[in-house]
Amino acid sequence: MEKDFEYQQMLAGELYLAGGILPEHKSVHGKKIAQQINQTPIADKAKLKALVKQLFGKTGKNYYVTPPVYVDYGRHVSIGENFYANMDCIFLDVNRITIGNNVMLGPRVGLYTAGHPLDSQIRNEDQLEFGLPIVIEDNVWLGANAIVLPGVTIGKNSVIGSGAVVTKDIPADSVAVGNPAKVIKTLGEAERKYWQTQKDKYLAAKEKFNSLD
């Protein structure tokens, strides 16, 4: 395979010229697979799962992506076990997107690794651009319409509120909301106890309901 300077620059997070990427490294293949996913009947879960496995560079055994889904390359995305993405999610993966285990994406979440120079001449006349990797660690939930920008890491167990725009790293065990997203709460024992109580109430209600049969 011929060496590809622009493609290597892109994955290294350096400036690159998208039009100079060699045909074998272009993004069209992933877009075609995403198009197949979006045209597959929603009831055909086996085919959808197989297509997602073709689309992403790495998957676990248990995952589900609700169509429609949109990618740049697709193959630069890796997902862990128990991954779920709701409808209309966007993976703009000119650089790598690494997602851990037990991660949930709400509808229309956007993971954007792509960036453009702030200088207009370099951006428009030279047409140079760049991409920085995104990392989402284990047990993270991103609410609907949340946006994650290039170079961001979201720490494990964190929750990103709906509509948040994440421009900087988020520590583990955090709740972050707003534009730009800011941490408003650190998750800990109080939340664990509260949600355990809610779970116990649910189980009691379910047991009572089933006893009426």
Residues in the chain with pLDDT values less than 70? 1-2, 213
Please answer whether residues 167 and 179 qualify as being in contact, where contact means their C-beta atoms are separated by less than 8 angstroms. Answer: no
Please answer whether residues 6 and 20 qualify as being in contact, where contact means their C-beta atoms are separated by less than 8 angstroms. Answer: yes
Which two three-digit tokens encode residue 31? 């877009």
User: Which pLDDT does position 213 carry in this prediction?
Assistant: 67
Query: Does the model's pTM come out above 0.85?
Result: yes
CA distance 188 to 193: 9
Which two three-digit tokens encode residue 134? 């995104």
User: Which pLDDT does position 212 carry in this prediction?
Assistant: 85
Q: Choose the catalytic residue: 25, 29, 76, 116.
A: 116
Whether 76 is catalytic: no
70 DSSP β-pair partners: 90
User: Which pLDDT does position 2 carry in this prediction?
Assistant: 62
Q: Name the residue among 129, 83, 132 with its Cα closest to residue 109.
A: 83
Please answer whether residues 118 and 98 qualify as being in contact, where contact means their C-beta atoms are separated by less than 8 angstroms. Answer: no
User: Peptide bond before 68: cis, by omega within 30 degrees of 0?
Assistant: yes
